[in-house]
Amino acid sequence: MKVLVTGGCGYIGSATARWLRSKGVDVQVIDNLSEGHRQAWDGPLEILDLLDRDLLHTYLKGKSFDGVVHFAARCYVGESVEQPERYWRSNVVPVIHLTEALQGVPFVFSSTCATYGEPQAEYLQEDHPQFPVNPYGATKLAAERLLLDRSAAGHGTCGLLRYFNAAGAAPGGDFGEHHDPETHLIPLAIDAALGERPPMTIFGTDYPTPDGTCIRDYIHVDDLAAAHEKALDCLITGGDSGYWNLGTGNGFSVRQIMDAVGHAVGQPVPFKEGPRRVGDPAILVANSAKAKAELGWVPHYTDVNELVATAVAWHRAHPSGYAS
Ligand SMILES: NC(=O)c1ccc[n+]([C@@H]2O[C@H](COP(=O)([O-])OP(=O)(O)OC[C@H]3O[C@@H](n4cnc5c(N)ncnc54)[C@H](O)[C@@H]3O)[C@@H](O)[C@H]2O)c1
């Protein structure tokens, strides 16, 4: 089986590329290395910008893939609010370019719980209304719609995977998260505990949650990778298009995550309390029953301490990420 992985030098893309390769899949990565790291993926790589339609179509001409997994995107919510045009271009145009060139090829897409917007339930199911509250979520929803329209036209099936908070690193500590700027809680808390950045700010301590801080669902990057394998298998063997939430179904507050990081690092995470950020819901937790039932996917990392320990191991082995 030959699969094209876009954004395969990024955090989740490289984990998935390695996961698929370990299952015997022939993986070809495309990445422009705008955010990703060459060291994150040691297999076949085409350095190419998906926004360049001519280059992409020339590259794909005559090649055949059994499936495509599309990770490449810009992923900073705050930046998307400031630069909406850039986000619409970066997150929607590559999907158009890829689908034009890959007629009939099953397409697995990195979507997000940000497509739901303000949650109307504690556990989000796939039939929750989709009213994104920022341009990032809106662009992902637009790409979802494009892929569903393509599927309805008979031009290729799609698997829309709505991740909750991706977290953790390869168990051996060899590969992990390296974003610049880093915005994710676990790597920020590790840096703060180790004195590598100033004390963290907790944005909002007056939410209607047991300890007043926001609750999120942290899903290990290898569990995400496994879900991509399942979605590809489903589509390539003739399964219908679908959309699936990917989370553990367990919510952890900011304070609980900071405690877990402090425990794993061996020293507490220094922090200060700040006001709420606009657009941060109190609780975002997945109901992933549909992915379990339809894809046979089961997340392995349900113990948050185990998940955090993988991120700490990666950080200890690579204090400057891939620049180490
Ligand atoms: N990290 C999360 O918690 C999370 C949650 C939900 C959804 N997602 C989605 O998962 C996907 C991967 O996220 P990530 O955290 O691994 O991001 P990342 O920034 O680490 O990886 C994205 C990769 O895509 C590449 N890329 C971007 N634009 C490109 C282009 N025009 N042409 C070629 N390559 C390009 C980057 O260089 C990078 O390697 C994204 O689509 C993101 O929206 C992530």
What residue's CA is closest to ligand 1, atom 23? 7
Atom of ligand 1 nearest to the CA of 178: 20
Q: Is 53 exposed, middle or buried (0-12, 13-18, 19+ CB in 10 A)?
A: middle
Whether pLDDT at 59 is above 90: yes
Q: Are 272 and 187 in contact (CB under 8 A)?
A: no
Measured distance CA(264)–CA(193) in Å, rounded = 10
pLDDT at 231 over 90: yes
pLDDT value for 324? 78
Kindly give the distance from the C-alpha atom of residue 287 to the centroid of ligand 1, in angstroms, as a whole number: 23
Report how far Cα 85 is from the mean position of its chain's Cα atoms.
21
Specify the CATH architecture of the domain 2-166+219-246. 3-Layer(aba) Sandwich (3.40)
Is this model's pTM higher than 0.95 or not? yes
Q: Which of 87, 116, 123, 136 is catalytic?
A: 136
Distance 66 CA to ligand 1 centre (A): 22
For 220, phi and psi rounded to 5 degrees? -65, 145
Residue 246 and residue 172 in contact, taking contact as beta carbons nearer than 8 Å: no
Q: Tell me the percentage of the chain whose pLDDT exceeds 90.
A: 96
Q: Are 324 and 283 in contact (CB under 8 A)?
A: no
pLDDT of residue 280: 87
* Ligand 1 mean position, distance from CA 140 (Å): 12
Predicted confidence at residue 257, as pLDDT, reads: 98
Known active-site residue 301: no
What confidence score (pLDDT) does residue 247 get? 98
Q: Output phi, psi for 124, to 5 deg.
A: -85, 125
How far, in Å, is the centroid of ligand 1 from the Cα of 69? Answer: 11
Q: For residue 293, give Cα distances in angstroms to 61, 111, 223, 276.
A: 37, 19, 16, 36
Relative to the CA of 70, which ligand 1 atom is closest?
A: 41
* Ligand 1 atom with least separation from CA of 33: 37
Structure confidence at residue 278 as a pLDDT band (50, 70, 90): confident
Domains of the chain, residue spans: 2-166+219-246, 168-216+249-323
Q: What is the best residue among 19, 33, 35, 161 to mutate for testing ligand 1's pocket, by most ligand atoms within 8 Å of CB?
A: 35
Task: Report pLDDT digits (tens) over 38-54.
Answer: 999 999 999 999 999 99
> Does 168-216+249-323 match 2-166+219-246 at the fold level?
no
In the reported structure, the alpha carbon of residue 16 is separated from the centroid of ligand 1 by a whole-number distance in angstroms of 12
Q: Note the pLDDT tens digit of each residue in 151-175.
A: 999 999 999 999 999 999 999 889 9
The protein residue whose alpha carbon is closest to atom 43 in ligand 1 is 75
CA-closest residue to ligand 1 atom 21: 10
Q: Which amino acid is at 216?
A: R
Ligand 1 lining (C-beta closer than 6 Å):
7, 9-13, 30-36, 49-51, 71-73, 75, 90, 94, 110, 112, 163, 165-166, 179
Per CATH, which fold does 168-216+249-323 belong to? UDP-galactose 4-epimerase; domain 1 (3.90.25)
DSSP H helical segments within the chain, as ranges?
11-22, 53-60, 77-82, 84-101, 135-152, 185-193, 221-236, 254-265, 289-295, 304-317
Query: What is the pLDDT averaged over residues 21-36?
Result: 98
Atom of ligand 1 nearest to the CA of 136: 43
Mean pLDDT of the chain, nearest integer: 96
DSSP string, 118-149: S-SSSEE-TTS--B-SSHHHHHHHHHHHHHHH
Phi then psi dihedrals of residue 295, to 5 deg = -105, -15
pLDDT tens-place string over residues 65-112: 999 999 999 999 989 999 999 999 999 999 999 999 999 999 999 999
**Using CA atoms, how far apart are residues 317 and 312, in angstroms rounded to an integer?**
9
For the cut 90, the answer to whether the pLDDT of residue 8 exceeds it is yes
Q: Any idea of the CA torsion for 137, 142, 145, 147, to the nearest 10 degrees?
A: -100
